[in-house]
């Protein structure tokens, strides 16, 4: 297949995902679509048998699967960079090696939507949250209804799980400042939204695993809060300074901080919760945002009303 003939490249990066990678790859290979597609797997010098599983699955599907190996660890960002560079499709569908798709028509639906709507830069959907420690579904993350949104909405909330996204190749920005961020997907959606619209579907199309080796889910609430603050500091420098964008950045940062501080309380970390509350109270200035801080007391209220 040549670059011009491929509609969708599935971009999959993996590192030490031996317990998960086969299901991730097979969920892509189970896709039923009329679009030409490929699966490009970037293995970052895994040491747990992941590379052997990837080779075995790829050998059964040489027409569709290409594998990039490393003889030393590149790190997640550089591994992702080289995998994107190897992708030949006009659309990129993103899936990490520890998640998997559950909708066999995902490629068909999303590529069709992007074909019909040239003003939309990327499309995403909902996920099931799977807790690996108990081998059970812990919840779901999905939009209430289908919607087309813009820059200010994605600044206020990251409503696009990475493993559900299909994005136009030209909208997949690799700004050098993103390399230092632990949170890589949200700023990428934000930059894409400066070029066009974002579509979100309430359909559940993938499963996102919560496990101890997860790049994001294993972090403590305090660490994730610090990483979100770091991400918004970078984003603030890349975007226009118009009043609507500045307000949306402030809202997104505060709402995410409140959510993560409340998680500290729910996880029985009262000292961290109190420090987080006092930090947010000291740093908030506008009356509108001061009203939003009422959300900080909801876990305490719910606990006292039990």
Domain ranges of the chain: 3-210, 221-304
pLDDT at 225: 87
Q: Are 182 and 230 in contact (CB under 8 A)?
A: yes
**Sign of the CA dihedral running 284, 287, 289, 295:** positive
- b vs e for 284-295, b when ≥16 Cβ sit within 10 Å of the residue's Cβ? beeeebeebbee
End-to-end CA distance of the chain: 61
Q: How many CB atoms lie within 10 A of CB 70?
A: 16
DSSP letter (8 states) at residue 3:
G
- b vs e for 157-169, b when ≥16 Cβ sit within 10 Å of the residue's Cβ? ebbbbbbbbbbbe
What six digits make up the tokens of 270? 């009262």
Alpha-carbon gap, residue 213 to 218, rounded angstroms: 6
pLDDT at 1: 46
Closest CA to 186 of 154, 144, 164: 154
pLDDT at 210: 87
Question: Strands 166-168, 197-210: parallel, antiparallel or unpaired by DSSP?
Answer: unpaired
What six digits make up the tokens of 298? 């909801």
Q: How many CB atoms lie within 10 A of CB 206?
A: 25
Give the predicted TM-score (pTM) of the model: 0.88
3-210 adopts what CATH topology? Spore Coat Polysaccharide Biosynthesis Protein SpsA; Chain A (3.90.550)
Q: Which residues of the chain register pLDDT less than 70? A: 1-4, 133-134, 212-218, 285-291, 294-306
pLDDT at 151: 97
CA-based angle 78:107:153, to the nearest 5? 70
CA-based angle 130:226:252, to the nearest 5? 80
pLDDT at 305: 52
């Amino acid at each position: 297949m040549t670059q011009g003939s491929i509609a969708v490249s599935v971009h999959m990066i993996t590192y030490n995902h031996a317990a998960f990678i086969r299901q991730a790859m097979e969920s892509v290979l189970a896709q039923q679509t009329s679009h030409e597609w490929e699966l490009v797997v970037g293995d970052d010098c895994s040491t747990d048998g992941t590379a052997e599983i990837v080779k075995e699955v790829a050998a059964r599907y040489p027409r569709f699967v290409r594998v990039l190996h490393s003889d030393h660890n590149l790190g997640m960002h550089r591994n992702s960079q080289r995998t994107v560079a190897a992708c030949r499709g006009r659309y990129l569908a993103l899936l990490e090696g520890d998640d998997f798709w559950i909708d066999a028509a995902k490629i068909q639906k999303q590529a069709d939507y992007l074909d019909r709507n040239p003003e939309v830069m990327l499309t995403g959907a909902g996920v099931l949250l799977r807790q690996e420690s108990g081998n059970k579904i812990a919840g779901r993350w999905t939009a209430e209804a289908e919607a087309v949104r813009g820059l200010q909405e994605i600044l206020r909330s990251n409503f696009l799980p990475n493993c559900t996204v299909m994005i136009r190749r030209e909208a997949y920005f690799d700004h050098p400042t993103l390399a230092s961020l632990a949170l890589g997907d949200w700023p990428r959606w934000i930059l894409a939204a400066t070029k066009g619209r974002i579509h979100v579907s309430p359909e559940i199309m993938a499963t996102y695993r919560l496990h101890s080796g997860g790049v994001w889910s294993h972090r403590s609430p305090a660490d994730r809060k610090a990483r979100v603050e770091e991400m918004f500091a970078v984003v603030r420098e890349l975007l226009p300074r118009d009043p609507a964008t500045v307000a949306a950045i402030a809202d997104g940062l505060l709402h995410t901080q409140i959510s993560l501080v409340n998680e500290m309380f729910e996880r029985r970390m009262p000292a961290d919760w109190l420090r987080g509350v006092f930090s947010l109270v000291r740093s908030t200035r506008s009356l509108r945002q001061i009203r939003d801080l009422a959300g900080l007391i909801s876990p305490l209220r719910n606990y006292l009303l039990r």
